[in-house]
Amino acid sequence: MYLLHSIRKRTALCLLLSYIKAHFFSTPYSVFPFLLKAKEKEVQEMALESLEEHEVAKNALQAFMDCDPKSDVFKAKISVLNELNNHHIKEEEKDALKSLVQLCDKECLDDLMKKYEAAEEKAKKKKK
């Protein structure tokens, strides 16, 4: 029973990490190029800050993925990754998505979503 629980937990973790990885690798190629072209300096600065957050989170994700689950720092790494991710989601929901809704019409949003989904699929297929 323990083995089955362990396998399910590991499978769920791998799935979660693949979605986080896909997000960190896809948003910079879809949403942020659009926001960087905005006329508003505040929107451009927010986009640059978010891109930097993506880089930090990608590095933390890679360090976590390279870490031995039996090591002393494994739990600390997942905790930091979780904090980075939660902070990033709040910022993106508050600032980036709000800016997109203000700057885009439905056609523009649909186009950005298609670009995001294409970049996300490409990221999911990438190894490490």
Residue ranges of domains in the chain:
2-125
Nearest to 120 by CA among 33, 43, 21, 5: 21
Q: Which residue has the higher pLDDT, 29 or 6?
A: 29
What is the pLDDT at residue 107? 95
Q: What proportion of the chain, given as a percentage, has pLDDT over 70?
A: 86
- pLDDT band, residue 8 (cuts 50/70/90): low
Q: Is 48:96 a contact under the CB 8 Å cutoff?
A: no
Residue 67, sorted as left (phi over 0), alpha (psi -120 to 50) or beta, turns out to be: beta
**Model pLDDT for residues 48-97, shown as the tens digit of each residue:** 998 898 888 888 888 888 888 788 888 888 888 888 888 888 888 888 88
Q: Is 109:12 a contact under the CB 8 Å cutoff?
A: no
Q: Is 10:56 a contact under the CB 8 Å cutoff?
A: no
- Give Rg (Cα) of the chain: 17
What is the pLDDT at residue 110? 93
Show the tokens assigned to 10.
């590991």
The torsion of the CA quartet 41, 54, 57, 42, rounded to 10 degrees, works out to 10
Q: Which residue has the higher pLDDT, 6 or 70?
A: 70
**What is the rounded average pLDDT of the residues 23-46?**
88
